[in-house]
Amino acid sequence: MAFEVDHSVEADWIEGLPLPREQTALIGHAAAAEELHEVYRSGRMHHAVLLTGPKGIGKATLAFRFARYVLSHPDPFKAPEAGAGLLPASPRVQAQVATGAHPNLLHLKRPYDDKAKKVKTQLTVDEVRRTVSFFGNAAGMDGHRIAIVDAADDMNASAANALLKMLEEPPKRSLFLVLSHAPGRLLPTIRSRCRRVNLEPLSPDQLDEALETLDIDVNEADKPALTALAEGSVRRAIECIEREGLILHGLFRSLMDTLPRLDRGQLYRFATAVAGRKGADNFDIAADLARAWLSEQMRIGLRGSITDLNAYATAWDEVNRIVAETDGINLDRRQAVVSLMQSLAGTARK
């Protein structure tokens, strides 16, 4: 019997594209995949793995790929070798994982709110507590039971503490694959109980390959700007293509060229473009552009003679504060963008 997958209730789904659990192609991260494979085949698999790296580079795709491999080969000593980072899985397991129907796999993510008709903004404690019954019951099949936490950054404090309790007393033959875009924000006790595997952003060639695999066309003239804006993230590249990100990138860079004095005309053109008909989405891109600029300036400062980077750290916190307040109480996005840019300009003057 075929399962109907309702993608609209999935967190972070991009319309028209496969979910990570449906994705069979893994671009890049061959070394990370091989590391996981070799540890599993050795019979010394740690009960929790922390997969880290920027959002949208393939952490979830790798997690589901590795889960399919483990579920297909319950005896690690009989598991086949995997060449070039490939983790072979049985077609039956692949189909079950793709539809979310495998009894030994639990995917913890931000849940869908039936009342509000949208995905919640946090990975809640009730979602994490599903692990109690999942691991408490007898496994539906032989082998490991696997929980993918996607992503741990979305957990509130109660959810984080609930996950920590499970990691402190892991059930027999359990495996947690914990995804994090910013592991420094996680509880240190969670990090200390996981084997950490770092994933690097995709190279420009790998980014091109990933977009081609997903049948996303990119004009050659746009590739340099897209590569700079995406920073090795397939998700960010797609969002920029679909949500006017390339246009915003051009406006943003032109505006930054006027620092430390902000050109008022360019400032309001940029703010108006962000707060247009797709303002809710484009505001996220504007915030990412601001953070990327601050990161770039800090790297330049570290390579040069600037030793005091406190102004950049303060500006980073200010950007996050403006974003949180804008999202939390639905402030006017046009004014929020002006505030973001004024914060960057103040930092440049310092």
pLDDT at res. 84: 45
Structure tokens at 245: 């990100």
Cβ contacts of 11 within 8 Å, gap of 6 or more? 109, 110, 119, 150, 154
Sign of CA dihedral 129, 130, 131, 135: positive
Does domain 7-198 fall into CATH 3.40.630.30? no
Per-residue pLDDT of the chain in tens (350 residues, 90 and over written 9): 344 566 777 877 888 889 999 998 899 999 999 999 999 999 999 999 999 998 899 999 999 999 999 999 999 999 888 654 455 788 999 999 999 999 999 999 999 888 888 888 789 999 999 999 999 875 556 789 999 999 999 999 999 999 999 999 999 899 999 999 988 889 999 999 999 999 999 999 999 999 999 999 888 988 888 988 888 999 989 988 887 788 888 899 899 999 888 899 999 999 999 987 555 568 888 888 888 888 778 877 777 665 567 888 888 888 888 988 887 777 788 999 999 999 999 888 87
Angle value at C-alpha 143, between 142 and 146, nearest 5 degrees:
120
Asked whether 291 and 341 are in contact (CB, 8 A), the reply is no
Report pTM: 0.81
Domain boundaries of the chain, sorted by first residue: 7-198, 243-349
Structural element, H or E, at residue 294: helix 279-303
Q: Are strands 48-52 and 174-180 parallel, antiparallel or unpaired?
A: parallel
Cα 261 to Cα 263: distance, rounded to the nearest angstrom: 6
What pLDDT, in 10s, does the model give residues 41-57?
999 999 999 999 988 99
Cα→Cα distances 253→40, 204, 220, 294, Å: 46, 20, 20, 13
What pLDDT, in 10s, does the model give residues 65-89?
999 999 999 999 998 886 544 557 8
Cα 222 to Cα 224: distance, rounded to the nearest angstrom: 6
